[in-house]
Structure 1
Amino acid sequence: MKKKHAYYDIIIIGGGPAGLTAAIYTGRAKLKTLVLEKSFIGGSASSSSEIINYPGFPSGITGLALTKLFHEQATLLGAEFKLTAAKKVNFSTQNDYTVDTFRTIYHAKSIIITAGGIPRLTNAKNEEKFLFDKGISFCATCDAAACENKTILVVGSGNAALEEAIFLSKFAKKIFIAVRKDESQLKAGKAIQSEAKNNPKLSFIWNKSVSSFNGDTYLDSVSLKDTLTGSEETLPIDRCFLFIGYTPDSEIFAHQINCSSAGYIKTNEQMQTSRPGIFAAGDIREKTVRQIATAIGDGATAAITAGKYIDSITNNLPDI
Structure 2
Amino acid sequence: MFSGTFPPPRMGGLSATRPIVRPARTVYGGPARTMPRMSRPALAPANHRPLLLLVDDQPEDLRWLTALLHPHYRLAFAESGRVALQKAQGLTPDLALLDVGLPDMDGFALCRLLKGDPATRGMPLLFLSAHNDVGSRIEGLSHGAVDFISKPFHPEEVLARVRVHLRLASPRAEAVAEAVVQSGAEEAGTPDQRLLAAARQYIAEHLGEALTVNQIGRQVGLTGRRLLALFREELGQTVSGYISDERVRTGQRLLADTDMSVQDVAFHAGYSNAGNFATAFRERHGLSPQAYRVALRARERADGAPGVDQGPGGPEGEAS
Q: Which has the higher helix share?
A: 2
TM bucket by the smaller chain? Answer: under 0.3
Query: TM-score normalized by structure 2?
Result: 0.25
Greater length-normalized contact order (CA 8 Å, ≥ 6 residues apart) = 1
